[in-house]
Amino acid sequence: MPDRFDLPADFRWGAATAAYQIEGAVEEDGRGPSVWDVFAARPGAVRDGHTGAVACDHYHRYPEDIALMRGLGLDGYRFSVSWPRVLPTGAGAVNGAGLAFYDRLVDALLDAGITPLPTLFHWDLPQALEDEGGWLNRDTAYRFAEYATVMADRLGDRVPAWITLNEPFVHTVYGYALGTHAPGRTLMFEALPAAHHQLLAHGLAASVLHDRGLLAMLSNNLTPVEPASPSAEDTAAAEAYDALHNRLFTDPVLLGRYPDLSALGVPDDIFGAVHPGDIDLIHTPGLDGLGLNFYNPTRVAAPTGPGLPFDLVDIPDVPHTAFGWPVVPEALHRLLLNLRDLYGKALPPITITENGCSVTEDTVPDRPRIDFMAAHLDALARAVADGVDIRGYYTWSLLDNFEWAEGLFSQRFGLVHVDFATQRRTPKASYAWYRDLIAAHRARSLPH
Ligand code: BGC
Ligand code: BGC
C-alpha cells in the first residue's frame, strides 16, 4: 500500500468523533436527556445493554484527547455538539455550564493549533423534542435554527466552518423507518417527513450561519449504488435505492428539487411535509462544502417478494470489515466522479468528513485499518487528479467509542484503543501510520 499521496499542499488532515459516542457525563452540569439515553435504556436496544453514559469520558478527559490529536499533527478535528447539553429541553433557556464545555474544548483545540469543525446534530435529539414528535414535527426544524443561533453567537468568533447535520439518511432510516437506532420508530417510508424536516433544519441553520459570516456544510452518508445485474429490473431497483440513499439528501440542497420518489410510493410532497417555499429555504442559502462520509458501495437487486422495491445484496469476493461492510476503495473514486458529473458547477468543494473501518479483535497492530485508509486515500488522490475539488480527509474515528446499536466493544473504529474499564488510551499502529503520513505530506509541501 502506498504511504504517500499526491494531494494539494493545503489539503487538511483530520479525525472525527460525535458527542454521544465519546462524551459520557450524561447527567452532568445540567445536560438534559437525549433520545439516545432513552433508547439505550430499552432492554435489547443496544448490544450487551451498553449505553453512552460514560463512553470515552471525553467530557473530563478532553485535554488528554487533544494531546493525542496534537501528537497526530491534525489540522482539524470534527466533533459534535450535544444539543441537550446546551439546551436541556431543546428550546428555551440556555444551560451555561453545558455551553461552557464547548467553549473550553474550542479554546484548547485552538491552543493546540487544531481547527475545530463542529457538527450541530449527530443524532442525539433532546428527548423533550422527541416527546413532541421529534423530526416528524416540523417545529423541530425551527428549534434547530434557534440552537444554531446560540452556538454561532457563542463560538462563531473562533469557529469559521460548521456542519449542520450528520447523515440525515442514516438517522431517518435507522431511527425512524427501521427502528434500530434512536428514537426507535418503525415507520418505513412514512419516516420520510423526518428527512424533509432535517433538510429544512439544515437550510434554516445555514442561513443563521451565513448571516454571521460563517460557512455551512452538510455531512451526507453517500454510497455508489450498482445494480446486481444489467437487467431492467435490477437497474430500476438500483435507481430507486440511489434516489432514497443519495439524491434525496443532496439534490434539494444543491439543485433545489427533490428526486422522483414515485418508485418508492412516496408522493411529491412527501406525505404533506413539503410546504410551498420549503425548497427555497433548503436550497437558497447555498452550501459552502459538502461533507462526504464514505464507508462502502451498495449492490441492489430487484425485490424477490412483496415489501420494499429493492433488495440490498452482498458484494462477494472483496474483503469485509468487522461490521460485514464490503471494502471497495475504488467505489470512493467512482462516487467522487459521479458527484462531479451529476452536479457539475452546483457541487461545492468536498471534504471527506468520515471514512474508516471497524476491525474485529481490534488491538494495537491494526494492519487492516492501515490498508483500508491507504487504499481509500489512494482512491481520493486519483479523484483529485481527475479534477474533483477535495479539501480534506477526516478519519472515523480518533477513538474507539460507543458504536450506537453495537455498543462499546464489538465494533472498534479508533486510531486509538480505549479500554472502557480503565479509560486507558493506547495508540494503535494506524495512529503512528497516520501521524507519519501527515508529517511527510507537510514536509513535501514546504517551499524549498
Ligand atoms: C452504511 C454505513 C452506516 C451504517 C449505519 C451501513 O450500511 O454503509 O455508512 O454508518 O450502515 O450503522
Ligand atoms: C456515523 C458514525 C458511526 C459510523 C460507523 C457513520 O454512519 O456518522 O456515527 O459511528 O458511521 O457506523
pLDDT tens profile 123-139: 999 999 999 999 999 99
88 Cβ contact partners less than 8 Å away, ≥ 6 residues apart: 30, 31, 32, 95, 98, 126, 128
Residue 167 known to be catalytic: yes
Ligand nearest to the CA of 123: 2
Residue nearest to atom 7 of ligand 1 (CA): 325
**How far away, in angstroms, is 224 Cα from ligand 1 center?**
13
The rounded distance, in Å, linking the Cα atoms of 165 and 160 is 16
At 361-397, the pLDDT tens digits run 667 889 999 999 999 999 999 999 999 999 999 999 9
At 404-418, the pLDDT tens digits run 999 999 999 999 999
At 19-42, the pLDDT tens digits run 999 999 999 999 999 999 999 999
Ligand 1: does its nearest atom lie under 6 Å from the Cβ of 255? no
Beta strand 215-221 with 12-16 is unpaired
> Which residues form the pocket of ligand 2, taking CB atoms under 6 Å from any ligand atom?
18, 21, 166-167, 170, 221, 293, 354, 396, 403, 413
Grid coordinates standing for 434? 497516520
Residue nearest to atom 3 of ligand 2 (CA): 403
Rounded to two decimals, what is the model's pTM? 0.96
Q: What's the chain's length in residues?
A: 448
Residue 163's pLDDT is: 99
Ligand 1: does its nearest atom lie under 6 Å from the Cβ of 298? no
Which numbered atom of ligand 1 lies nearest the CA of 181?
Answer: 12
Residues of the chain with pLDDT under 70: 1-3, 361-362, 447-448
Which residue among 167, 226, 239, 403 is the active-site one?
A: 167
Closest CA to 69 of 401, 363, 395, 409: 395
How many Å separate Cα 387 from the centre of its chain? 24
Domains of the chain (ranges plus CATH)? 12-445 (3.20.20.80)
Q: What is the number of other CB atoms lying within 10 angstroms of the CB of residue 36?
A: 29
Residue 363's pLDDT is: 75
Closest CA to 300 of 310, 290, 291: 310
Residue 1's pLDDT is: 57
Residue 406 known to be catalytic: no
Residue nearest to atom 3 of ligand 1 (CA): 170
* Single-letter residue type at 83: W
Which numbered atom of ligand 2 lies nearest the CA of 397?
Answer: 10
